[in-house]
């Protein structure tokens, strides 16, 4: 399988530092695949909170993940300090795609890259247009 080259830090716009935990490593001594996704959604959540987008509580904007994926270039694991880079790869009417690159310690190339395709939904779970004020925030990540 031919594979795209790992992304660089300059391919991403906003960064969050995410320390690993002892229990992130599985029996193979490296970070379990599911843990990568939980680092991704932590970085996304921190960025949204920093922008003033409410993601918790009864008035939260709720983005439903409809698809995600991950490519692994190199192994990571405890006690690595990981840095998650964020970028908006697609911004539609009610959907968007977050691209995330994970960088180990001070490395220049991403060890892992993934995406979350999300749809903003209303209280009935139906797609809802992204409000202009929110759209302008996401455009900063393009």
As measured in angstroms, the least distance from the Cβ of 108 to a copy of itself is 21
Per CB under 8 A, which of residues 96..125 are in contact with a copy of itself?
116-117
Under the binding rule (CB under 8 A), the answer on residue 47 touching a copy of itself is no
Q: Which residue has the tokens 């911004």?
A: 91
Residue 115, strand partner residues:
69, 99
As measured in angstroms, the least distance from the Cβ of 141 to a copy of itself is 18
Select from 5-13, 16-24, 102-110, 134-142 the region that touches a copy of itself (CB under 8 A).
16-24
Site of interaction with a copy of itself (CB under 8 A):
1, 3, 18-19, 21-23, 25-29, 32-39, 41-42, 44-46, 49, 56, 62, 64-72, 75, 78-79, 92, 95, 116-117
């Amino acid at each position: 399988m031919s594979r795209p080259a790992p992304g660089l830090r300059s391919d991403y716009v906003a960064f969050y530092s995410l320390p690993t935990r002892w229990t992130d490593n599985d029996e193979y001594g490296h970070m379990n695949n599911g843990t990568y996704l939980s680092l991704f959604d932590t970085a996304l959540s921190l960025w949204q909170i920093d922008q003033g987008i409410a993601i918790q509580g009864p008035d939260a904007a709720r983005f439903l993940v409809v698809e995600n994926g991950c490519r692994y270039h190199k192994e990571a694991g405890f006690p690595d300090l990981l840095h998650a880079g964020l970028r908006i790869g697609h911004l539609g009417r009610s959907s968007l795609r977050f691209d995330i690159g994970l960088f180990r310690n001070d490395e220049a190339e991403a060890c892992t890259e993934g995406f979350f395709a999300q749809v903003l939904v209303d209280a009935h779970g139906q797609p809802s247009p992204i409000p202009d004020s929110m759209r302008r925030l996401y455009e900063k990540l393009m």
